[in-house]
Structure 1
């Protein structure tokens, strides 16, 4: 019995490791620059970040990616679009939602640019 539990725990851990640099963006929960700053931190730690969103939050993901690219911090590595089957909570029927995943990588001068940016709480 212990071996099975340990095996399941190992599966969960390896699955989590693969997704450590993914940010699932919502357009209702956090402000735009929360995601911009989080993406910068993820790129510092992992050299790349994957931004993911469904439906109406897609515009937020695209805006975050564009801010990072326009400031010279990120380069686009991959964009994936798809549809996801979901259940409509209010009507109880299946619906399809658009999904986007944008993989961004650090630019060559990312670290240099990050040093030039003002730190939180300083003038």
Structure 2
């Protein structure tokens, strides 16, 4: 239930929550490759994905975008930076936080790369559980 609340709060912060291809990235909640794989799925469904982050998570978003670009999955379409006002939970006064939004689109060979990766997974021996 806690994850749902956090998800709703991040959508409220985002403002335009109607975007179905937006990923709000946090650098504490999930591992890096969770977001990389999620971004690939979003691009497969919507042809593009918007990665969004605040404050310290900005470095994580840039890393995710670079992994997708360097591996031939995505091209950069747009980068937007801004500053938003938030309430500081510890002091109760408003603070400003940096925000980044990176819009990535599928490359021409995205579908081929995804098919090759899926085929590789099928051929790989099953991992043993420890």
Q: Which runs of 5+ in 2 are unaligned?
A: 1-15, 126-130
Q: Give 1:75's aligned residue.
A: 75
Counterpart position of 2:107: 107
| Residues 1:47 and 2:28 are matched in the alignment | no
Q: Deviations over 1:52-102 (max 9, x none)?
A: 000000000000000000000000000000000000000111000000000
Structure whose alpha-carbon radius of gyration is higher: 1
Question: Normalising by the residue count of structure 1, what TM-score does the alignment of the two structures yield?
Answer: 0.83
TM-score, normalised to structure 2's length?
A: 0.79
The equivalent residue for 1:97 is: 97
Ranges in structure 1 where 5+ consecutive residues have no aligned partner? 1-14
Say which SS state the counterpart of residue 119 (structure 1) adopts: helix
Q: Distance in 2 between matches of 1:33 and 1:120?
A: 19
Partner of 2:38: 38
Please state whether the residue corresponding to 2:105 is helix, strand or coil. Answer: strand
Q: CA deviation at 1:121?
A: 9.4
For 2:97 and 2:124, the matched residues in 1 are separated by 42
1:86 aligns to 2:86 (yes or no): yes
Residue of structure 1 in register with 2:9 after alignment: none
CA shift at 1:120, angstroms?
A: 7.7
What corresponds to 2:121 in structure 1?
119
Provide the aligned C-alpha RMSD in A. Answer: 1.6
* Structure 2 CA distance for aligned equivalents of residues 120 and 86 of structure 1: 46
1:116: how far off?
Answer: 1.2
